[in-house]
Chains A and B, each alone.
Chain A
Amino acid sequence: MKNKSYLILAICLSFVVMLSACGPAATEPVTEVATEAPTEVATEAPAAEPCLIIGALYGGPMNDAGYNQAMHEAVMAIKTNIPCVEIIEAENVPDEAGATTTMQNMIDQGAKLIFPTAFNHQYPALTLSQSNPDVIFEHAGGWEMGANFANFFGEPPDGWYLMGVAAGMMTTSNKIGFVAAFPLGWTLTFVNAFELGVQSVNPEAQTIVSYTFAWGDATKDADTTNALINQGCDVITMHVDSPATIISTAESRSVYSIGFQNLAAQQFAPEYWISGTGFTLGGTLTWLASMVLDGTWTPIFVRCGIDDGCMAIAPFGPRVPQEVKDLVAEKQAEISAGTLVVFKGPIVDQDGTIRVAEGEVLSSEVMGSVDWFVQGVIGSPK
């Protein structure tokens, strides 16, 4: 017992030592919390009851310049468009148990609309939706549906095809590196859409895929990016949570990069940025929230693309010539008009097997469970 109390004392002491030692680093977030909390209370106390309390939870930090930031910005757009709502946010909720308690906590605070935005949030949210029939759940990127549970997401493949067009024209080594977290269905679909875009302008060019086996291991991101560049890739793109490390690494090696998830990724590559595609779901979430307010909400499975404003193409970097910009715009117009369909047959996989026959189109239902790469991709799909 005596030893134990010493241990606790030691830990407390060490905490004090660390806090005082780390000076500006440690005190910054602390003071931030201290100054923000009272002002928030001050501004909200005299205001009327919020018309709707919205809960949003994210799998990672909401300032990651990647997926979580894109979701955070979309949720905050509701507040801008409908000022009477109140928003409760929780970041860094990667696991299912944490998601359940976080959402329950939000319901206890009066939330009537909840946005669980990570892959692991889907089933906890679905379970909670059954025991809380008066709360509406809108999950991002899943597939389940229920009486008060629906799914929404942007459709990235068209954007990926357009990025492929730009990459195919910019590469001179005809090798394009793709850093992926895991060989998952949607990731493979993005790679395929990208390589189809590359081939449409440069049949010689190959997309080389390497996996990091983590959504947010920055060091592994850097390792993988360097390994791809060291094999001669002169354009790098990625599907991980935060593109910050990969784009910074490419920039430091004077290699072009294409971003994904959030348009803010451009800041990491002032010189060698080509373009990027990211989620801009603010309008869609505002629309969903307004329906909840009106009482007209019904479960709709929402999938929306560039034309609906759910996805956007980032501005081009300074080194991209006009002809590339023009061609991307041209292809984008063709996709909007319906004359260009990305996954239209014939599509042949790496082994030469026909995956989508002539005259057919890969349906969006199977895009999430694809387990093959199109011809021209180097790397293993499983």
Chain B
Amino acid sequence: MSLLSILGVLSSAIFSGTSLLYTTLGEVIDERAGIVNLGLEGVLLVSASSGFAVTSITGNPYLGILVAMLAGGLMNLVLGYLVITRKANQLASGLALMFFGFGLSALIGKSYVGVKITSLPKILLPGLAGLPPLYSSLFRFDLLIFLVIPAAILVWWLLYRTRWGLGLRAVGENADTAFASGRDPRLIRYQALFVGGMLVGLGAAHLSIAYAMNWTEYMTGGRGFIAVALVIFSKWHPLRAIVGALVFSAAVAFQLLLQSSGLQVSPFLLDTIPYILTLVVLIAWGGNRKHSAPASLGRVYQGSE
């Protein structure tokens, strides 16, 4: 295994981990406020298709990103209406949202399949200009990649260093207590869902506009569910989510490297490595009570009289 292929795995992990990290950050915010969003897959698809469509119509990828964020936020508000205002079951509503997203994204994206768009420009990581082109091409990133770590830090700052974040976490732990201390749990949950949805929209925008540069039906291929698993993997912490997203994507890149290195192991088996890794981590961390989930995660807030 050469230096090139090892750096290649790192580069691939950064490229494909970016959308996963944005999505995970979005879900961290939702779940910190006490709402499990199992419809992430549908939110991703609707954001990816509407962002791609707008990029194709206007020729401006930045406008596409903005629309994808907005679409993500609105999709999450749909879930919010169901689980906060109508007090529906979160898991069932999430799954309904997912199937709704499948259909809606197919409708939005229908006339944009196979369309060529102007993608985001790629900028070489500063200080690497001296490398040979084979190496430097590994570190030419688009704007959304450069912004993803700052976004994780921003989410951490919002959750742990602002009054809004304190209120949000309080609602996720015990909504009645939060209400007693003068906060409106419903409003905070709506806000959390909107902000979380916008982050998911950023992930979707990276997927369709910057990374794949293409829209196809169901193009997320289960990444929404991987993000839900990564939230548990990162123990509901935005900074640990960076590690989770990178490790998962590196595992994908690593199995692709193994496949093409001439190793005579069934590629079907190699393809499962990232998922097995996720399972192993979830099992290993499952028994650790100290960093367990927000206490009222998944619970309906009935309102305080």
Q: Interface residues, chain A, CB within 8 Å of chain B?
A: 3, 6-7, 10-11, 13-15, 17-18, 21-26, 28-29, 32, 61, 63-66, 69, 92, 173, 177, 183, 208-211, 213-214, 216-224, 226-232, 242, 244-245, 248-249, 252-254, 264, 267-268, 378-380, 382
Contact = CB atoms under 8 A, between A and B. Distances in A.
Contacts of B54: 24-25
In the A-B complex, list the 5 residue pairs whose CB atoms are closest, starting with the nearest.
A230-B8, A25-B53, A65-B114, A227-B256, A218-B212
Contact of B53 (A24, A232, A242): A24
B181 interface: no
B114 A244 contact: yes
B82 A218 contact: no
Contacts of B106: 92
Contacts of A25: 49-50, 53-54, 57, 67, 108
Contacts of B53: 22, 24-25, 28
Contacts of A221: 212
A245 B223 contact: no
Contacts of B217: 61, 92, 216
A221 B46 CA distance: 20
A21 B74 contact: yes
B54 to A, nearest CB: 6
Interface string B6-35: 011101100110010000000000000000
A380 B266 contact: yes
A92 B212 CA distance: 20
A18 B212 contact: no
A232 B108 contact: no
A22 to B, nearest CB: 5
A264 B75 CA distance: 35
A217 B256 contact: no
A69 B96 CA distance: 32
Contacts of B134: 173, 232
A222 B138 CA distance: 14
B116 to A, nearest CB: 6
Most buried by A among B133, B134, B262: B262
B28 to A, nearest CB: 21
B225 interface: no
Contact of B100 (A14, A173, A217, A254): A14
B122 interface: yes
B49 A10 contact: no
B111 interface: yes
A245 B78 contact: no
B49 A245 contact: no
A14 B197 CA distance: 15
Nearest to A64: B114
A219 B223 contact: yes
A252 B4 contact: no
B260 A267 contact: no
A378 B49 CA distance: 36
B207 interface: yes
B104 A18 contact: yes
23 contacts: A3-B88, A11-B100, A15-B104, A21-B70, A25-B108, A28-B111, A61-B216, A209-B259, A210-B256, A211-B259, A216-B216, A218-B216, A218-B219, A219-B19, A219-B220, A227-B9, A227-B253, A228-B256, A230-B138, A230-B253, A231-B4, A232-B134, A252-B119
B145 interface: no
Contacts of A3: 88
A223 B221 CA distance: 13
Interface in B218-266: 218-221, 223, 252-253, 256-257, 259-266
Nearest to A382: B266
Contacts of A379: 259-260, 262, 267
B117 to A, nearest CB: 9
B81 interface: yes
Interface of B: 4-5, 7-9, 11-12, 15-16, 19, 46, 49-50, 53-54, 57, 67, 70-71, 74-75, 77-78, 81-82, 86, 88, 96, 100, 104, 106-108, 110-111, 113-116, 119, 122, 133-134, 137-138, 207-208, 211-221, 223, 252-253, 256-257, 259-268, 271
A11 B104 CA distance: 12
A219 B259 contact: no
A222 to B, nearest CB: 5
A26 B219 contact: no
A228 B253 contact: no
B74 A217 contact: no
B260 A231 contact: yes
B113 A63 contact: yes
A66 B115 CA distance: 12
B108 A29 contact: yes
B212 A13 contact: no
Given A14-B81, A209-B260, A244-B214, 18 more contacts: A18-B78, A22-B108, A25-B67, A29-B110, A61-B114, A64-B113, A213-B271, A219-B219, A222-B16, A226-B12, A227-B9, A227-B253, A228-B260, A231-B257, A248-B212, A252-B213, A378-B260, A379-B267
Nearest to B56: A25
Contacts of A254: 133, 137
A211 B267 contact: yes
Nearest to B121: A252
A223 B207 CA distance: 11
Contacts of A10: 78, 81-82, 86, 88
Contacts of A7: 82, 86, 88
Contacts of B257: 227, 231
A348 to B, nearest CB: 16
B256 A223 contact: yes
Contacts of A242: 113-114, 214, 216
A241 to B, nearest CB: 9
A29 B107 contact: yes
A329 to B, nearest CB: 29
Nearest to B264: A380
Contact of B11 (A216, A230, A252): A230
A248 B116 contact: yes
B204 to A, nearest CB: 11
A243 B113 CA distance: 12
